[in-house]
C-alpha cells in the first residue's frame, strides 16, 4: 500500500474529538506519576485538554503541546471555563522548541502511534531530551499490538461510539481495520454519521511491538524505569492490553 499515512480531518475536530473521548481511566495513573517529581510537566499531543485540565486542577504545573488548531481552541475554551490558566502551545512533536525544561514529559492515549517512521520517532525522542531536566522522566502509553484483534476487525464495520453534539446532532462512528504488515501500521477506516450526513475518515496507527520499543528507547538514550501492562501498574506481560513506559533520560 502506498496511501499517505496520517490522521483524518474529523479526528482533528475539537468538538467531535472531545465528545467522543470522555473517559478518564488513565487520569489517576498520570496524576500519581506527575506528583512524584517537583517541577513543570509537559503533555505532548494534549488534544482538547482531557488530561491537562484536571491535572492542573490537581495542583500540577502543566503545559500542553498540540498540532491541531481546532483542538487547541477547544482546550483553551475548556480551561477558561474551568477557571485554570494553562499554556497550550501549537507544535509538532517531531520538531518543537520551547523555552522551559520539564521534570516530566507525558504522551498519553496512544498518541505516539501516530508517528510512523524510525526517523520521526527518533526526532520525537531527540526533542523530548532537549526539554527534559537532567533527572526528568518520559511517560507514555501505547497499545500492545494484538494480531488476533486486528484480524477480527478486518471483516466488517462495527459501531464503536454514539454521542450527541452541542447542536443536537447525533453522531454514530463505525470502524474496520486493515493491517499493513510491511510498515506495521493498522489502517483504521471509519464511517461517521453526523445527523443525516455521512463521512468517511481514517486513523493510521503504527504498531510498536514490545522489544522494538524497548530497543528504540535504549538506542535513543532512555532507560526503562518501569513498564506496566495497564493503568493499575500491573507489570507488563504477553497479553497485557497496553505498554505503559516510565523512562529516565540517560545523561552522559
Q: pLDDT tens for residues 18-70?
A: 999 999 999 999 999 999 999 999 999 999 999 999 999 999 999 999 999 99
Q: How far is CA 222 from the centre of its chain?
A: 19
Hey, what CATH class is 147-205 in?
mainly beta
151-184 as b/e, with b when 16 or more CB fall inside 10 Å? eebeeeeeeeeeeeeeeeeebebbbebebeeeee
For residue 157, the model assigns a pLDDT of 92
DSSP state of 211: H
Task: Give dist(CA 66, CA 62) in Å, integer.
Answer: 13
Where in the chain is CATH 2.20.25?
147-205
In this model, does residue 225 exceed pLDDT 70? yes
Instruction: Convert the pLDDT of each residue in 1-21 to its tens digit.
Output: 446 788 887 778 899 899 999
For residue 2, the model assigns a pLDDT of 47
The residue-averaged pLDDT of 160-168 equals 92
pLDDT band at 142 (very low <50, low <70, confident <90, very high): very high
Instruction: Convert the pLDDT of each residue in 57-97 to its tens digit.
Output: 999 999 999 999 999 999 999 999 999 999 999 999 999 99
- Identify the bridge partners of residue 194 per DSSP, sorted by sequence position: 171, 197
Alpha-helical segments (H) within 7-134 = 14-20, 27-34, 52-57, 69-82, 118-131
For residue 1, the model assigns a pLDDT of 43
Cell numbers for 154:
478486518
Q: How far is CA 14 from CA 49, 227, 245, in A?
A: 10, 31, 27
Q: How far is CA 89 from CA 1, 69, 75, 79, 204, in A?
A: 34, 10, 11, 14, 24
For residue 251, the model assigns a pLDDT of 65
pLDDT over 90, % of the chain: 83
Where in the chain is CATH 3.40.50.150?
19-144+209-249
For residue 75, the model assigns a pLDDT of 97
Classify domain 19-144+209-249 at the CATH topology level: Rossmann fold (3.40.50)
Instruction: Residue 134: count other Cβ atoms within 10 Å of its Cβ.
Output: 9
In this model, does residue 173 exceed pLDDT 80? yes
In this model, does residue 123 exceed pLDDT 60? yes
pTM for this prediction: 0.95
Task: Give dist(CA 173, CA 188) in Å, integer.
Answer: 12
Residues 6+ apart with CB under 8 A from 93: 44, 45, 65, 67, 107, 111, 115, 124, 127
For residue 149, the model assigns a pLDDT of 80
Task: Give dist(CA 69, CA 90) in Å, integer.
Answer: 7
Q: With contact defined as beta carbons under 8 Å apart, do 137 and 246 qualify?
A: yes
Amino acid at each position: 500500500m502506498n496511501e499517505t499515512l496520517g490522521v483524518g480531518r474529523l479526528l482533528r475536530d475539537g468538538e467531535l474529538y472531545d465528545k467522543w473521548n470522555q473517559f478518564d481511566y488513565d487520569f489517576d495513573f498520570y496524576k500519581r506519576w506527575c506528583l512524584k517529581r517537583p517541577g513543570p510537566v509537559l503533555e505532548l499531543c494534549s488534544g482538547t485538554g482531557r488530561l491537562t485540565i484536571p491535572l492542573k486542577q490537581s495542583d500540577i504545573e502543566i503545559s500542553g503541546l498540540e498540532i491541531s488548531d481546532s483542538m487547541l481552541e477547544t482546550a483553551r475554551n475548556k480551561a477558561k471555563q474551568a477557571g485554570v490558566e494553562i499554556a497550550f502551545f501549537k507544535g509538532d512533536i517531531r520538531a518543537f522548541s520551547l523555552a522551559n525544561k520539564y521534570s516530566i514529559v507525558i504522551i498519553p492515549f496512544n498518541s505516539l502511534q501516530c508517528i510512523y517512521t524510525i526517523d520521526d520517532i527518533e526526532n520525537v525522542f531527540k526533542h523530548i531530551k532537549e526539554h527534559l531536566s537532567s533527572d526528568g522522566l518520559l511517560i507514555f502509553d501505547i497499545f500492545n499490538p494484538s494480531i488476533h484483534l486486528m484480524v477480527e476487525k478486518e471483516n466488517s464495520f462495527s459501531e464503536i461510539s454514539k454521542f450527541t453534539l452541542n447542536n443536537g446532532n447525533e453522531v454514530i462512528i463505525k470502524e474496520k481495520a486493515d493491517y499493513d504488515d510491511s510498515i506495521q501500521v493498522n489502517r483504521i477506516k471509519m464511517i461517521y454519521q453526523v445527523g443525516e450526513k455521512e463521512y468517511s475518515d481514517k486513523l493510521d496507527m503504527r504498531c510498536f511491538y514490545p522489544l522494538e520499543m524497548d530497543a528504540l528507547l535504549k538506542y535513543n538514550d532512555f532507560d526503562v524505569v518501569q513498564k506496566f501492562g495497564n493503568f493499575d501498574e500491573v507489570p507488563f506481560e504477553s497479553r497485557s492490553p497496553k505498554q505503559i513506559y516510565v523512562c529516565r533520560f540517560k545523561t552522559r
